[in-house]
């Protein structure tokens, strides 16, 4: 099964195509059945106002997107001012008049005219005639009307707010003959309290459905709703806990005589899910109960092996086959993490082929009771063909979708159909609604194609096997492999590690905790293993970070004397002319070779990052990948942008602009990105033709030494790149030397000021560039339209990942006061799920801070703000662990200093004062990162126009800038620019020299003599 996870699409599809193929006779019968089902579907669509409404406002229209966005956010907004802003934002720009009177349904047309009027109310400004007419009654009127409409949309897709309400609704005439699988809404728990609330909802649902087992209804359970850290890295914690909860629900369901199905999760959770399901399936207490089941997603490459696994369990399993619900997020995750290939199919037709092949296996399996969830008439007709006269299976559809497809099959032909029926309040609907509508509204979905009048029946019912065979099973051309993410003209993406794969994670844990032998030497560097701790049988270091000998922990590097710094600069100065004259292609090739060497030695480099810089395993992977990306990106940029440029001018004159190195650069790197930033600054200076004297932070010399050694191996001459180590005195000696022609520095604002002064103190010295990236009081603004679960996840990552020791880390959370209490409560609960511990432990979220000085400073500050602390956590007693801390402050102005650690401050702001809030943050003078969580597009436009920051993040976390995609760097007190990893960075390292030659002095411009006209 594991080998299929990242296997190539054609290889996986080849046996599936054979399994799913129909002979000509079967194909003819299938088409006949499918055409009949298609007619039923279209008849149902023409009757129901709901179907007509959804058909009128499709997701591929601006109006459909507006309605979806409004439905996703409106019902959770508690304050009228923000609700009005949201309505204005979503209704104001869409062309509702274009839909007026177009539908056959009076209700749809009525709703459309309501939207037209609503747009007028919110879109014509405060002085418009309709505004003046309705006056104060207008906004509440629109707000109430929109609220009613959004609740109506919710009822389309949610069976009931409670399980009792949902069961009552299933007794309505339109549901006659159907049974339901009730799903208690809740996509994922963020806190243990959430998980317990969802568990009790499932217990209550089983009890309610169990009061009438003859009705045939069942319950669906989502494991991610039952544990806030359902992650492979937390396997030992979450799998036993989830197994226990699922066992309790299964035993309860068995005692009631009803069925229980475990819903499908994302592919990275599949192995955990199978472990949990397999354990519960084998419990002796459940022998004889045939109501246990699971869902399988056909878009996954491992779907068919999962069916074989389920069939081998020593019991009958109910298996619900679905096409898949997380396609877009899984594609993005694979690209972001730089994995080898996708765990799922990239073409919709390939998913359909997989579905058919797996369905055929399920029909033939001895120990599987199949359920086929589909809204696709061709899929349904094919399963009917293969099943023959058998009715020993069931179809399934989503509540609110697929009306008309199954009614005749159930009422006239004896087939059974179960409705997947979400249950919950409107606030819980949001994530479910968006996922389902996107899933069924995609251009390639059957539901979408059915509503497209331009498509013929033959096109709608086209054979997916033929479609995939025609392209040889190849991946969709618009979805490149992660390695090719940046296109043919861009750099090759760095390779990542799939830590959701158990074997990969185990191997990585062993590697990063093993001692790393010193592999090179430079002036002042000692030898010996990094860390120096004993290693246990499982590869984990038995010594806590704080116990490591300082000399060994920092590679034994001693600071250099002034004479040694001078000697290093002398070497680089002498090597500069030859390196500068080398072709840019040769210099770029060195960077490409270095990138390859970094990936070859990835395990070793990760181990040093973990042991020397206390990087967690995901951060260590990210560190190496970013260094690789810097090398490849700057190599690609140099080839494209550092060539001589011929400039226009009058005839008889040749003008050229040459871009060359300036001389010797000093690059001074921080300890928090000891490989990525160290190399990023350095290779940028090198590829532009400069020689470099590179100084790492005194806390992390060993990773720098290994990087320099690899750079020399890649072809950078030893005298062109010289490493010096030590503390502030070495940096001072380096920047004071008049032969230094530029400085690239990342660190504190105070140190950047000292460097700037040093570069200007000597009046006889040339004025040289300083590229400085410093810190910031980085703020995230959250309004009441934001989804709290998403906010909390992004806040946790932005504030506490890397123990808060990132330049871009979130320092100040600004929550709209109307929702502040709820957000803070959820955030506090999410903090309880953080694991604080040794960096090499895969379960660790927050490791130790870098050194004793940082620890003492942060702990002293925590003591000063103890009375304002609203949440803190316990940490191990032995080690430099600063507890993640949430501090409530009264106003934005109360925070005026960056605290470089896992300390987050929270304050509130008033609705309607977004611009004022942005201005108050700007007034602090820092300008590195800022974030916004809002569903109001206008709010995003406002912050984009008014935030004085280098990097703005909207509806996402504030860390993890990607080279070439999100150039990083600040302004004001946060840096000088240009932005690292951006298209203008290299120019700052260069000298520009223009050469103008008068060619007429040597006999004129001979090319003029060849022209057809003019001349003598």
Residues with a catalytic annotation lie at 773, 807
Three-state SS annotation for 504-530:
HHHHHHHHHHCCECCCCCCCCCCCCCE
- CA dist 166 and 684 (Å) reads 62
Give the H or E element holding residue 596: helix 584-600
Task: List phi, psi (to 5°) of 464.
Answer: -65, -30
Burial bucket for residue 10 (CB in 10 Å: 0-12, 13-18, 19+) = middle
Residue 462 β-bridge partners: none
CA distance 12 to 1: 11
Q: How far apart are CA 669 and CA 696, in angstroms?
A: 5
Peptide bond into 978 cis (omega under 30): yes
Closest CA to 321 of 284, 364, 358: 358
Q: Phi/psi of residue 695, each to 5°?
A: -120, 115
d(CA 989, CA 893) in angstroms, rounded, equals: 37
Q: Strand 317-322 to strand 368-373: parallel, antiparallel, or no bridges (unpaired)?
A: parallel
Cβ pair 598, 606 in contact under 8 A:
no
The Cα 329–Cα 317 span in angstroms is 29
**How many residues are listed for the chain in this entry?**
1016
Contact status, residue 781 vs residue 814, Cβ threshold 8 Å: yes
Question: Measured between alpha carbons, how far is 186 from 176 in angstroms, rounded to an integer?
Answer: 27
Q: What's phi and psi for 658, nearest 5 deg?
A: -105, 140
Which residues make Cβ contacts (< 8 Å) with residue 163, sequence separation at least 6? 182, 184, 204, 205, 208, 209, 423
Cα distance from N-terminal residue to C-terminal residue, the chain: 82
Q: What is each CA distance from 436 to 323, 325, 375, 422, in whole angstroms?
A: 12, 7, 12, 11
Give the integer Cα–Cα distance in Å for 223 and 242: 7
Closest CA to 824 of 859, 769, 782: 782
* Token digits of residue 367: 């120990």
Q: How far apart are CA 897 and CA 400, in angstroms?
A: 53
Dihedral (Cα; 808, 813, 816, 819), 10-degree rounding: 120
Nearest C-alpha neighbor of 782 from the set 688, 906, 678:
906
Q: Distance of CA 864 to CAs 767, 809, 892, 906, Å?
A: 43, 21, 18, 16
Question: Residue 190 gets which letter from DSSP?
Answer: S
CB 433 within 8 A of CB 196: no
DSSP designation for 491: P
The neighbour count for residue 945, using CB atoms within 10 Å, is 9
- Which strand ranges, in their side-by-side order, compose the sheet holding 645-647? 645-647, 653-661, 990-998
Structure letter (DSSP) for residue 714? T
Question: How far out from the chain centre does Cα 180 lie?
Answer: 34
DSSP β-ladder status, 885-888 and 869-872: antiparallel
CA dist., res. 638 & res. 686, Å (int): 10
Measuring CA to CA, which residue among 313, 295, 209 is closest to residue 255?
209
């Amino acid at each position: 099964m594991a080998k299929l996870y990242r296997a190539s699409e054609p290889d996986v599809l080849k046996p599936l195509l054979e399994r799913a193929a129909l002979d000509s006779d079967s194909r003819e019968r299938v088409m006949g059945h499918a055409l009949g089902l298609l007619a039923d579907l279209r008849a149902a669509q023409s009757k129901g106002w709901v179907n007509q409404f959804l058909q009128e406002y499709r997701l591929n229209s601006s109006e459909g997107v507006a309605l979806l966005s409004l439905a996703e956010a409106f019902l959770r907004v508690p304050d009228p001012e923000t609700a009005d802003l949201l309505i204005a934002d979503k209704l104001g720009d869409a062309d509702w008049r274009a839909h007026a009177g177009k539908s056959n349904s009076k209700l749809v047309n009525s709703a459309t005219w309501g939207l037209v009027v609503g747009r007028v109310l919110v879109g014509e400004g405060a002085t418009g005639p309709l505004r003046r007419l309705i006056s104060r009654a207008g906004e509440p009127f629109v707000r109430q009307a929109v609220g009613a409409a959004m609740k109506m949309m919710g009822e389309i897709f949610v069976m009931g707010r409670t399980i009792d309400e949902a069961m009552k609704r299933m007794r309505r005439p339109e549901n006659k003959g159907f049974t339901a699988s009730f799903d208690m809404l809740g996509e994922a728990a963020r806190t243990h309290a959430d998980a317990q609330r969802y568990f009790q909802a499932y217990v209550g649902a089983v009890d309610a459905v169990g009061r009438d087992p003859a009705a045939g209804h069942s319950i669906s359970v989502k494991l991610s709703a039952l544990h806030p850290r359902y992650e492979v890295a937390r396997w030992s914690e979450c799998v036993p806990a989830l197994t226990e909860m699922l066992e309790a629900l299964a035993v309860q369901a068995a005692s009631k005589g009803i069925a229980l199905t475990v819903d499908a999760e994302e592919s990275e959770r599949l192995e955990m899910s199978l472990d949990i399901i397999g354990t519960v399936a084998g419990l002796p207490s459940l022998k004889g109960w045939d109501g246990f089941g699971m869902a399988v997603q056909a878009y996954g490459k491992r779907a068919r092996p999962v069916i074989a696994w389920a069939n081998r369990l020593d019991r009958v399993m109910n298996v619900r086959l679905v096409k898949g619900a997380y396609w877009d997020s899984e594609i993005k995750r694979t690209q972001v993490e730089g994995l080898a290939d996708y765990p799922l199919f990239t073409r919709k037709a390939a998913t359909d082929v997989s579905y058919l092949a797996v369905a055929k296996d399920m029909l033939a399996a001895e120990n599987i009771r199949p359920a086929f969830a589909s809204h696709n008439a061709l899929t349904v007709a094919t399963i009917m063909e293969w099943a023959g006269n058998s009715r020993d299976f069931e179809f399934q559809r989503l509540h609110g979708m697929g009306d008309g497809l199954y009614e005749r099959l159930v009422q006239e032909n004896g087939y059974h159909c179960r409705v997947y029926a979400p249950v919950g309040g409107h606030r819980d609907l949001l994530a479910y609604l968006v996922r389902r509508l996107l899933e069924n509204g995609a251009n390639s979905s059957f539901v979408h194609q059915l509503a497209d009048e331009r498509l013929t029946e033959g096109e709608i019912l086209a054979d997916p096997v033929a479609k995939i065979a025609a392209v040889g099973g190849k991946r969709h051309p618009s979805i490149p492999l992660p390695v090719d993410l940046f296109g043919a003209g861009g750099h090759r993406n760095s390779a990542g590690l799939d830590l959701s794969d158990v074997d990969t994670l185990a191997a990585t844990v062993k590697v990063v905790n093993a001692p790393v032998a010193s592999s090179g030497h430079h002036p002042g560097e000692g030898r010996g293993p990094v860390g120096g701790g004993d290693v246990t049988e499982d590869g984990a270091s038995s010594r806590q970070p704080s116990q490591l000998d300082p000399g060994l922990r920092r590679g034994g590097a001693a600071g250099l004397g002034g004479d040694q710094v001078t000697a290093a600069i002398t070497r680089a100065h002498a090597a500069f002319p030859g390196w500068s004259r080398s072709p840019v292609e040769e210099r770029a090739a060195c960077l490409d070779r270095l990138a390859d060497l970094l990936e070859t030695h990835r395990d070793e480099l990760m181990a040093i990052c973990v042991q020397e810089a206390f990087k967690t395993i995901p951060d260590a992977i990210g560190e190496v990948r970013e260094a690789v990306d810097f090398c490849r990106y700057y190599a690609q940029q140099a080839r494209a942008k550092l060539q001589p440029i011929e400039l226009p001018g009058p005839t008889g004159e040749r003008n050229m602009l040459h871009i060359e190195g300036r001389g010797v650069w000093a690059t001074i790197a921080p300890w928090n990105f000891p490989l990525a930033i160290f190399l990023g600054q350095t290779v940028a200076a090198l590829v532009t033709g400069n020689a470099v004297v590179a100084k790492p932070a005194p806390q992390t010399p060993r990773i720098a030494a290994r990087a320099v050694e690899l750079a020399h191996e890649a072809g950078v001459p030893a005298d062109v790149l010289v490493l010096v180590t030590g503390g502030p005195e070495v940096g001072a000696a380096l920047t004071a030397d008049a032969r230094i022609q530029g400085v690239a520095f990342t660190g504190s604002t105070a140190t950047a000021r000292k460097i700037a002064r040093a570069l200007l103190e000597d009046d006889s010295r040339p004025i040289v560039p300083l590229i400085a990236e410093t810190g910031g009081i980085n703020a995230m603004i959250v309004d009441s339209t934001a989804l709290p679960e998403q906010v909390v996840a992004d806040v946790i990552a932005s504030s506490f990942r890397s123990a808060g020791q990132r330049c871009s880390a979130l320092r100040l959370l600004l929550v709209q006061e109307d929702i502040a209490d709820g957000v803070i409560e959820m955030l506090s609960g999410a903090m309880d799920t953080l694991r604080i511990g040794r960096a090499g432990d895969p379960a660790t979220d927050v490791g130790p801070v870098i050194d004793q000085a940082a620890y003492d400073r942060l702990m002293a500050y925590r003591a000063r703000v103890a009375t304002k602390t609203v949440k803190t956590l316990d940490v191990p007693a032995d080690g430099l662990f600063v507890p993640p801390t949430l501090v409530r402050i009264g106003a934005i102005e109360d925070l005026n200093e960056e605290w470089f650690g896992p300390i987050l401050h929270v304050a509130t702001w008033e609705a309607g004062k977004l611009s004022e809030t942005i201005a108050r943050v700007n007034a602090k003078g820092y300008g590195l990162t800022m974030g916004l969580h809002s569903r109001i597009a206008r709010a995003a436009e406002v912050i984009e126009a008014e935030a004085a920051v280098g990097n703005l993040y909207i509806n996402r976390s504030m860390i993890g800038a990607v080279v070439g995609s999100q150039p990083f760097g600040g302004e004001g007190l946060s840096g000088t620019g240009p932005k690292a990893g951006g298209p203008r960075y290299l120019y700052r390292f260069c000298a520009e020299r223009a050469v103008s030659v008068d060619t007429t002095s040597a006999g004129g411009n001979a090319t003029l003599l060849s022209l057809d006209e003019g001349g003598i």
